[in-house]
Amino acid sequence: MLYSHNVENEKINLFTLFLDKAKQGDAKYAQIVNEVILETHLYVVGKKDLYNINRDSINIILLLAQLEKEYFSKLQENTSEYNQEIYNKVFQVITTKQTALV
Amino acid sequence: MNILKNELQELLKSQRLVIKPLLSNDQIGELTIDFRLGYNFLVTIQGKNPFLDASLNSNDQFPTQSLFQETRRMLGETFLLHPHQTILTNSLEYIKFPDNVYAELSMRSSYLRLGISLSALVQPGYTGCMSLELTNLNKVPINLTVGAPIFQARLYKLGESLNYFSKKRKYMCQVRPIVSSVAEDSDLKVLNAIWRQANYIDTKSP
Amino acid sequence: MEAKFLQLHFSQLQSEWATAKYNNYSDLRKREYHEKLSKIISLLEAEDISKFSPLEIKQRFYVVFFLFKSLEFLNNSTSSSMPFEIVAVLEEALNDWIPTRDYIIVTSLINNNIGFSYDTSLMLMDFIYKEIEILYGIKFEKRLIQINVPNSTARDYLASVVLYHELGHFIDRKFEISRVLYIEILSAILSGKLSAGEFNDIVKYFPYLANINLVKWFHANYFPGNKFENHIAEYLCDLFGSQYIGEYSNRYVSYLTCDEATDNVTHPSSINRSSFIMDFLTGNKKYLVEKYKQTVLLITKEEIKSRAESFKSEDFENFLPVDIDRPQQLHFLFAYGWKVWLDDWNKMRAYNNLNFDLTQEKVYSIINGLIEKSIGNFIVRTEWAKQASAIS
């Protein structure tokens, strides 16, 4: 897996793993995925741009923004509001499109 | 004639004598210049070859290089010299001698007393790091510090200039110790040919 | 994922660790990193893999991968033949872009004789570090970067100029510059607002973008490693390297690729690569070079500019190492070395009163040795001055 796939695919795989843990209620993982979800929201509404969004997660952010722009535009900036419903949604978006980046 | 401190300093100032790097002016003594242990080493290793071959009679089956391994240390690190071990290393300093000055190298007395021997001659016009063959004559290992002033050079002036590059040099501008190029000695080719003839071996060159 | 396979994976690691745990490092930072690996392995050993859920198995898979990769890097770095001169110079270049305190460079001597590269897999996997922190409470302040240097050319400083290009790949991956350029260039074409000159400049270096359908396809179908992104990255890295070593890396690469006139999936043509660099080096305000410069500045807050401080010297011709006074001059040593190599060697012969012709092998050895000694002397003098003044 890690010998035929590239680093970007592995980042998405790890992010998906974290989402799974966040869905199960693990706050430590939720904190990490919240950062990515928030960055996506800020990017989509124009408060962040290509030059200053998180570099490590940029491909995940751009992918999410491309797939569900409207959904992410409506999210709150207060990450304490992020809940299982959001994690489920993001998980569903990512896992449906994951193979596109392989 | 042994060159003394004042003249040594003049040679340095005029850049006829080059020492790079000269970390401390205290290295220039009344009679000698102290030089430091460099950070590159060649140690002999035991491999498949049965001996170090200083002849051509084995048809290059046992190349000298195969019995040496390079190792490096950083400045301030140490190198352990085992009892009766001989290593190749060189000076930290890269030097260029005037063409009418040569030097005799010897260990500084602090290191001589530990049991390390060195004896070498640096020819007029020599350019490069000075090659050192250090041997531990003691019964115990000696831990040397890279960068320590372990040996000294006594410089002598000649009555005439000699061109170091009047003929091809095996060891030129070296910055790391180089394994002996004894096999390139032209005399050995002649001697090998004599031996081959005497033993009725194919007289074509090896 | 099955537990038995993770057990196998972990057993392989334990076998590797059986010898690696006795590794000796002179660098304190590597020792500390090694100790953290030791703690993680102990904690893993205490876990019951057979009881893990599939998700937990997946998590440990990444942890074991991380441990293997870290050990690979650290094992390579115990080699006592490390060309620390190259590392020192590259650290100087890296420090222009990211703080050097955040990472540890290790070198691996490999058999591929043109295999200069960086392995940045640990540097870029932020999620793995976070995973380890969550699972085991261990935080790594510094990340490992491995530089691969061919064994046969570990002392070939002339060929090592390509490492500046490779450093560009590292910076690119760290800041995802190519990713942004990918979007920007395609968006610029699709906007229809480019002048003819600007469009022609893009198409000169990316000829396939003359096809608008392909432009739209690239725009709608990004995936890592596609031809356009690869080409963007290669031009970026050539540009990056040329800040430090001018045109010499590209001239060398042009030779290695036999002045390749056509592109392939991974690389643009050598001819185009050289032309792109000359646009930068000659100060031509061409659209594409300016676009690259602007994007790099916006993302990294650093400019693409000439970063090697030049000096005038004939030391090499006089068979002497150069006295380097400032770190930025270190990079110019390579350009100087190349200049001497490409020049007429008779100067060396004349300056040193040689009664014989210099062979190419001898000139090669002399130039590389003098570059090495120039760098080494700078390191020694700098370290000595720092500590001697602290003690006195």
Read off the pLDDT of residues C319-336 as tens digits, 9 standing for 90 and up: 999 999 999 999 999 999
pLDDT band at B63 (very low <50, low <70, confident <90, very high): confident
A34-93 tens-digit pLDDT: 999 999 999 999 999 999 999 999 999 999 999 999 999 999 999 999 999 999 999 999
Of C353, C369, C379, the CB nearest to B165: C353
Average pLDDT, chain B: 90
C195-221 tens-digit pLDDT: 999 999 999 999 999 999 999 999 998
**CB-CB under 8 Å, C134 with A28:** yes
> Which one is predicted more confidently, C319 or A9?
C319
A25-51 tens-digit pLDDT: 999 999 999 999 999 999 999 999 999
Residue B32 bridge partners (DSSP):
B154
pLDDT value of position C154: 78
C15-30 tens-digit pLDDT: 999 999 998 887 888 8
Residues in chain B, overall count? 206
Give, in order, the Cα–Cα distances in Å from C129 to each of A17, C62, C95, C242: 14, 10, 22, 33
**CB-CB under 8 Å, A50 with C180:** yes
**Does C126 reach chain A within 8 Å, measured CB to CB?**
yes
B101-105, C255-259, C349-353, range with the lowest pLDDT: C255-259
Mean pLDDT within B71-90: 93
SS3 state at B153: strand
Residue B135 bridge partners (DSSP):
B86, B117
**Does A100 reach chain C within 8 Å, measured CB to CB?**
yes
Q: What is the ipTM of this complex?
A: 0.90
SS3 state at B43: strand
Average pLDDT, chain C: 91
pLDDT value of position B205: 53
SS3 state at B7: helix
Q: Is the pLDDT of residue C63 over 50?
A: yes
Rounded CA-CA distance C354/C196 in Å is 58
Q: Is the pLDDT of residue A102 over 60?
A: no
Exposure string (b/e) for C264-285, b if CB count within 10 Å is 16 or more? eeebbbbebbbebbebbbeeee
Rounded CA-CA distance C200/C206 in Å is 10
Rounded CA-CA distance B41/C263 in Å is 45
E strands present in C165-252: none
φ, ψ (nearest 5 deg) of residue C32 = -65, -40
Contacts of C383 in chain B (CB under 8 A): 75-76
pLDDT value of position A60: 93
Residue of B nearest to C84 (CA): B74
Q: Is the separation of the CB atoms in C6 and C58 below 8 Å? A: no
pTM for the full predicted model: 0.90
In chain B, what is the straight-line distance between the N-terminal and C-terminal CA atoms, in Å? 45
Interface A–C counts its CB contacts (< 8 A) at 63
Share of chain C above pLDDT 90, in %: 67
